[in-house]
A and B are shown apart, each in its own frame.
Chain A
């Protein structure tokens, strides 16, 4: 029981990271229909920037959080404005390919500026241990869980209640109708990129705190695909929970069945789930007219 609970806890921690990144995939996909292959790289860039703020410019933590959020939003908007906006009206496939180009560019840019070494990222709340019954959590692991809960709640509320959120949903459902109602779809795309950069950027900071700020961080982007697919690419909340499921299944299968399953159990799961629900667990079925 002890082992089981700890495995679940550990799965929830890593699952929260997958979930946050999965959510940021879904935010862009839902609004613009583009799968952003550069999500992991955006995450890395934000994390590296935040690292410089903390370790070089010595920002105190209370200042770090808002400034990271602002910087992430700026990075997201800049990428959208520079590379994605000019592609408006082009086939989705070409735009997806552009995001792959962005990924390569950002990856090289990051190592060009910050070098190859990995570094620790320390925040005031890291290093402690919290015991909840038989479950042991590092304080930063607990912080990831809290961050996940907070971001999920805010994302849900944003899309459900805010004007902008509703406009974004409208754009994704019917761009023409939304335009006629006075929604600027280009601005929505810009917002989507900004919000998704914030969400994945926060995840990136947590990855650096949990493990290290390292030049191969972008792998987390690829690893989070299954989360987004499982939950449904067009459902941010679904993608978030997809991450939790993938994380827990990964740890449990590694703990009880076979260690080699850790990295692929999530993949097997999505193949099985998609056979039953081709649009993910929480995704909406797309109606096609001929």
Chain B
């Protein structure tokens, strides 16, 4: 008789998943993602690319905020840094895009040491606001250092050919982002089941206790900042190819808050949660907009004048309600559902 899912050995405990059913559905999901471009137009593809890039960024942020407990509102700064690094290297310095993209991650990671240092002393919301301050300073720099960054004019990226594939083509871009997301997901899942990942979790749960157990806070906090910023910077680099024209308007505070919303609504500390959160937050405005359109003609006409405001109103309410009903986010909802079905009829 099956009484539950018992894990009896360490290798099983750290396995990515021990369940063949999970693998089956993952493969099915991957297959669905691969055939998607055949069935979708430019808009859906554009939306899918946005989701993929947001998911990469959210996973990066989640590594820092969800897994290590260092709340950061500054990741939009690193996103900007990554995006501009790739854009400027290609446009002004004629770097091949193959090298310019990884440099986005590397520059962001290098910058993160600067921001990571306050984290050694600051906690919680104080850290959040300080990182927010850094992101303001980064965008201010991008705006004013005109000789380096083109200032308010923005950067146009012409050369978008990576390894012979032109990322200006939405389908190619989609597959490329999908590939990067898969790599980042695997990478982060693997970090989380090593010593480093467990140290991150220990720091999140209680940093003083973690130090007492021999975890070097300086090293691990800075590692978390660097790893997270590398991934976020990479997402920024992808954005350079997504828009092919970048300027600082893209990287507003709203973006940082949206990113935070993604990982919280998705479920803190979980890679899958970050991805689900990205899907949710990006699709929400679209779905709400379509839902308003579907209402009976009489009502939707009345609403159409204020349609955009009503959309905003509903987005806010959905975020509030999601957290109200399940503070662990959508991953919490998923876990509860799973438990309910797998333990039925013993479940409550």
Contacts and interface: CB of A to CB of B under 8 A. Distances in A.
Given a CB threshold of 8 Å, the question of whether A touches B is answered with: yes
A217 to B, nearest CB: 15
A87 B310 contact: no
B261 interface: yes
B268 A93 contact: yes
A102 B122 CA distance: 27
Contact of B319 (A101, A108, A288): A101
B35 interface: no
Interface stretch (A120-128, A166-174, A182-190, A271-279): A271-279
Q: Residue among B121, B137, B268, B327 with the most chain A CB within 10 A?
A: B327
Interface in A92-124: 93-94, 96-98, 100-109, 111-112
Nearest to A277: B121
Nearest to B115: A271
Interface in B295-336: 306, 309-313, 315-320, 323-324, 327
A97 B126 contact: no
A174 to B, nearest CB: 19
B206 interface: yes
Interface in B185-224: 206, 208-209, 212
B122 A278 contact: yes
Contact of A98 (B128, B206, B323): B323
A133 interface: no
A29 to B, nearest CB: 8
A271 B77 CA distance: 15
B57 to A, nearest CB: 17
Interface residues of A, number: 44
Given A100-B261, A108-B310, A225 B129 contact: yes
Contacts of B126: 229, 233, 274, 278-280
Interface in A76-95: 83, 86-87, 90-91, 93-94
A155 B311 CA distance: 38
A222 B76 CA distance: 15
A87 B323 contact: yes
Nearest to B117: A275
Contacts of B238: none
Given A260-B144, A264-B136, A267-B133, A112 B306 contact: yes
B268 to A, nearest CB: 7
Contacts of B319: 97-98, 100-101, 104
Contact of A233 (B125, B137, B318): B125
A263 B136 contact: yes
B122 A105 contact: no
A268 interface: yes
Interface string B112-140: 00000110011101101110111011001
Nearest to B306: A112
Contacts of B133: 226, 264, 267-268, 270-271
Interface string B243-263: 000000000010001001100
A64 B197 CA distance: 58
Interface residues of B, number: 45
Contacts of B129: 225-226, 229, 270
Given A83-B320, A97-B260, A101-B316, A108 B309 contact: yes
B312 A105 contact: yes
Q: Residue among A104, A225, A267, A290 with the most chain B CB within 10 A?
A: A104
B264 interface: yes
Given A226-B129, A267-B136, A288-B208, A105 B264 contact: no
A100 B256 CA distance: 12
A279 B124 CA distance: 11
Interface residue SS majority, chain A: helix
A109 B122 contact: no
Contacts of A264: 133, 136-137, 140
Contact of B312 (A100, A104, A226, A260): A104
A275 B316 contact: no
A106 B315 CA distance: 11
B212 A290 contact: yes
A84 B260 CA distance: 19
Given A263-B140, A278-B121, A290-B212, A94 B264 contact: yes
A112 B302 CA distance: 12
Contacts of B143: 260
B316 A87 contact: no
Interface string A201-228: 0000000000000000000001001100
A196 to B, nearest CB: 16
Nearest to B133: A267
Q: Residue among B123, B143, B324 with the most chain A CB within 10 A?
A: B324
B300 to A, nearest CB: 15
Contacts of A86: 324
Contacts of A260: 140, 143-144
Contact of A274 (B121, B260, B311): B121
A67 to B, nearest CB: 26
Interface in B126-165: 126, 128-130, 132-134, 136-137, 140, 143-144
16 contacts: A87-B323, A94-B327, A98-B319, A101-B319, A104-B315, A105-B317, A106-B316, A108-B310, A108-B311, A225-B132, A264-B136, A267-B137, A270-B129, A274-B130, A278-B122, A278-B123
Given A101-B320, A260-B140, 12 more contacts: A35-B128, A83-B324, A90-B327, A97-B260, A108-B310, A108-B311, A225-B129, A233-B126, A264-B137, A270-B130, A274-B121, A290-B206
The 5 residue pairs across chains A and B that have the minimum distance between CB atoms: A108-B312, A105-B316, A104-B316, A101-B319, A267-B133
